[in-house]
Structure 1
Amino acid sequence: MEWTGQVYADTPTVAAQTYIEASPRRVWECVSDIQLMPRLSAELRSVHWLDEASGPAPGARFAGQNEHDALGSWETISTIVTCEPEHSFAWAVGSPEYPSSIWRFTLRPEGSGTVLEQWTQMGPARSGLSYAIDAMPDKEQKIVFVRLREFESGMEANLAAIKTLMEQEA
């Protein structure tokens, strides 16, 4: 990732992708299972469905418990905003109309496997990162850049773990 000079208000994004030697159907089953992500993520500790939801569907909500050395612990409420089996799975953190972030997995068939991309957008609503920016507004670009790098590193680790899981089961 290159230095972009973006600020939080720009709703910066970052993405990572990998090729997995597994069908989109199998990869979809993995990435749409919210219970898998706490096993892979460096920050997400646990998740559970809300409002009697039991699986991914547009509008379904889930709570997540997160932890970060510098940011502490916090809970998020996310709403699934895209659920297109074998193609795209996305959720908005906070309000779906004005989220603090959006996260998405996109699947694309290629050859005998699947290209899997994980993408995220920061903002437009405030998040825990906003407190650091409020405390050091002159360092906003650096704070945003460092957080995007953390997201990118986490996504690369998630994708590598999903790839290993899928290819070992093949």
Structure 2
Amino acid sequence: MEWTGARYADTPTVEVRRTIAAPPGRVWELVSDVGLMPRFSAELQSAEWLDEVRGVGARFLGRSRHEAFGAWETTSCVVECVPERVFAWAVGDPEQPSAVWRFSLAEGEGGGTELTQWARMGPGRSGLSYAIDRMPEKEQKIVYGRLREWERGMGAALDGLKALAEGNEVL
């Protein structure tokens, strides 16, 4: 990730891509399973659906832990859900989320899948906002550092999803 000097109010984004040798249907099963995601994350400890009906508007609870921020819970709301194409959720208030996360799937060559994970900070306040409040002169470094953490975590998640989808790891 290249230094951009972004501030939180800029709603900076990051994305990571992988080519997966599995059809979009298989990859979709994995990316839309919120309970599976903690398996690939050092930060996300658990995720569980709060609503029985899945799709846009469905909510799930995530519990996370980070050495600098401690432990916290968030409620996320699905904001886009197109089977085998896109699964996205807003963290916190969907109108003013602290972050938006998205998996996008596209059919790749030979029946495979191009999988992209994308995330945007803000515009709503998050735990990062409190660090920025305490050290406003370091805002750009704080934002950049967190985006780098997200990028590494997304890479690990996509690598784990790829291994599962390709049958190189058992559920």
Q: TM class, shorter-chain normalised? A: over 0.9
Q: 1:33, 1:56 within 8 Å by CA — same for their partners in 2?
A: no
Query: Pairwise mapping of residues 1-170 of structure 1 onto structure 2 (< 5 A)?
Result: 1-50=1-50, 53-54=51-52, 56-111=54-109, 112-168=111-167
Deviation at 1:56, TM superposition (A): 3.1
Give the fraction of aligned pairs with identical amino acids, expressed as a percent: 60
Deviation at 1:169, TM superposition (A): 5.9
Deviation at 1:49, TM superposition (A): 1.4
- Structure 1, unpaired ranges of 5+: none
Q: Distance in 1 between matches of 2:33 and 2:89?
A: 12
Q: Distance in 1 between matches of 2:130 and 2:39?
A: 28
Give TM-score scaled by structure 2 length: 0.96
Deviation at 1:41, TM superposition (A): 1.1
Give deviations 1:3-45, integer Å, cap 9, x for gaps: 0000000000000000000000000000000110011111110
Runs of 4+ in 1 over 4 A off after TM superposition: none
Q: Distance in 1 between matches of 2:21 and 2:99?
A: 30
- Structure 2, unpaired ranges of 5+: none
Q: Distance in 2 between matches of 1:30 and 1:123?
A: 26
Q: For residues 30 and 55 of structure 1, do their structure 2 counterparts lie closer, same or farther at Cα, with a shift above 3 Å needed?
A: farther
Q: 1:12, 1:121 within 8 Å by CA — same for their partners in 2?
A: yes
Q: Distance in 1 between matches of 2:21 and 2:125?
A: 38
Q: 1:108, 1:115 within 8 Å by CA — same for their partners in 2?
A: yes
Give deviations 1:107-145, integer Å, cap 9, x for gaps: 000112000000000000000000100000000000000
Deviation at 1:65, TM superposition (A): 0.5
What is the one-letter code of the residue matched to 1:20?
I
What is the one-letter code of the residue matched to 2:165?
M
Give TM-score scaled by structure 1 length: 0.96
Q: 1:78, 1:94 within 8 Å by CA — same for their partners in 2?
A: yes
Deviation at 1:76, TM superposition (A): 0.2
RMSD of equivalent CA atoms = 1.2
